[in-house]
Structure 1
Amino acid sequence: MVSTRVIVTRYGGTEVLKVTEEPLRTPGKDEARIKVECSGVALADLMRREGLYPLSPQPPFTPGYDAIGIIEEKGENVTQYAVGDRVAVFFNGVGGYASHIYSPVAEVIPVPESLEPATALTILLNYVTAYQMLHRFAHVSEGDRVLIHGASGGVGTALLELGKLAKLKMFGTASAHKHPIVDSYGAVAIDYHSEDFVEVLSELAPEGMDAVFDPIGGRNWDRSMRTLNKQGTFIGYGYTSVFEQGEENDWAARWKALTEAKTTEQGNPVHVYSITTLKQERPEWFFEDVKHLFSLLLYGELQPFISHRIPFHEVARAHELLETSKAAGKIVLIHS
Structure 2
Amino acid sequence: MSTEGLVEVVLPGKVEPEGLQIRRGAVPSAGPGQVVVLMEATGVSFAEQQMRRGRYYDQPPFPFVPGYDVVGTVLTAGQGVEPGLVGTRVAALVKVGGWASHVVIEAADVVEVPEGIGAAEAETVVVNGITAWQMLHRKACVRAGQTVLVHGANGGVGSVLVQLAQAAGVKVIGTASKRHHDALRERGVVPVDYRAGNVAARVRELAPGGVDAVFDHVGGRSVVDSWGLLAPDGTLVSYGSASTRDDTGSKQWPVIKLLGRVWLWNALPNRRRAYFFNIWAGRSLGKDRFRARLRADLTQVFAALKRGDVTAQIAAQLPLTSVADAMRLAESGTVAGKIVLNP
Q: Which amino acid aligns with 2:157?
A: V
Q: Secondary structure at the match of 1:87?
A: strand
Q: Which amino acid aligns with 1:313?
A: T
Asked if 2 retains the 8 angstrom alpha-carbon contact of 1:242 and 1:248, the reply is no
Change over 3 Å in CA distance of 1:240–1:102 after alignment to 2: same
1:73-222 equivalence runs, <5 A: 73-79=76-82, 81-91=84-94, 93-222=95-224
Q: Higher mean Cα deviation, 295-304 or 109-118?
A: 295-304
Q: Secondary structure at the match of 1:211?
A: strand
CA distance in 1 between counterparts of 2:269 and 2:190 reads 26
Please list the CA deviations of residues 3-27 of structure 1 after superposition, one character each: whole Å capped at 9, or x if unmatched.
Answer: 1111001113213211111111321
With structure 2 as the length reference, what TM-score do the two structures score? 0.92
Q: Verify: 1:320 aligned to 2:328, yes or no.
A: yes
Residue in structure 2 matched with residue 275 of structure 1 by the alignment: 279
Q: Verify: 1:301 aligned to 2:339, yes or no.
A: no
Asked if 2 retains the 8 angstrom alpha-carbon contact of 1:12 and 1:51, the reply is no
- TM-superposed deviation, 1:56: 2.3
- TM-superposed deviation, 1:253: 1.5
Change over 3 Å in CA distance of 1:125–1:53 after alignment to 2: same
CA distance in 2 between counterparts of 1:115 and 1:300 reads 11
Asked if 2 retains the 8 angstrom alpha-carbon contact of 1:67 and 1:121, the reply is yes
Asked if 2 retains the 8 angstrom alpha-carbon contact of 1:164 and 1:185, the reply is no
Q: Higher mean Cα deviation, 161-170 or 215-224?
A: 161-170
Asked if 2 retains the 8 angstrom alpha-carbon contact of 1:31 and 1:74, the reply is yes
Asked if 2 retains the 8 angstrom alpha-carbon contact of 1:147 and 1:209, the reply is yes
Residue in structure 1 matched with residue 26 of structure 2 by the alignment: 23
Residue in structure 2 matched with residue 7 of structure 1 by the alignment: 10
CA distance in 2 between counterparts of 1:82 and 1:198 reads 50
- TM-superposed deviation, 1:302: 2.0
Residue in structure 1 matched with residue 318 of structure 2 by the alignment: 310
Q: Higher mean Cα deviation, 157-166 or 251-260?
A: 251-260
- TM-superposed deviation, 1:246: 9.5
Q: Verify: 1:72 aligned to 2:75, yes or no.
A: yes
Residue in structure 2 matched with residue 42 of structure 1 by the alignment: 45
Asked if 1 retains the 8 angstrom alpha-carbon contact of 2:37 and 2:75, the reply is yes
Identity of aligned residues (%): 33
Q: Verify: 1:56 aligned to 2:40, yes or no.
A: no
Q: Secondary structure at the match of 2:28?
A: coil
CA distance in 1 between counterparts of 2:198 and 2:108 reads 47
Please list the CA deviations of residues 14-69 of structure 1 after superposition, one character each: whole Å capped at 9, or x if unmatched.
Answer: 13211111111321111111110010210111101110111222110111111111
- Number of residue-to-residue matches in the alignment: 334
Please list the CA deviations of residues 90-142 of structure 1 after superposition, one character each: whole Å capped at 9, or x if unmatched.
Answer: 11x21110000011111121111321111112221111111111111101111
- TM-superposed deviation, 1:280: 5.6
- Structure 2 runs not aligned, ≥5 long: none
Q: Which amino acid aligns with 2:108?
A: A
CA distance in 2 between counterparts of 1:51 and 1:161 reads 32
Change over 3 Å in CA distance of 1:298–1:95 after alignment to 2: same
CA distance in 2 between counterparts of 1:301 and 1:118 reads 17
Please list the CA deviations of residues 209-249 of structure 1 after superposition, one character each: whole Å capped at 9, or x if unmatched.
Answer: 11000000011111111111121111000111113569996
Q: Which amino acid aligns with 2:177?
A: S
Asked if 2 retains the 8 angstrom alpha-carbon contact of 1:218 and 1:248, the reply is no
CA distance in 1 between counterparts of 2:234 and 2:83 reads 44
Asked if 2 retains the 8 angstrom alpha-carbon contact of 1:262 and 1:271, the reply is no
Change over 3 Å in CA distance of 1:180–1:81 after alignment to 2: farther
Q: Which amino acid aligns with 1:289?
A: D
Change over 3 Å in CA distance of 1:68–1:192 after alignment to 2: same
1:201-280 equivalence runs, <5 A: 201-244=203-246, 250-258=253-261, 260-261=263-264, 263=266, 267=270, 268-278=272-282
CA distance in 2 between counterparts of 1:252 and 1:82 reads 39
Asked if 2 retains the 8 angstrom alpha-carbon contact of 1:279 and 1:285, the reply is no
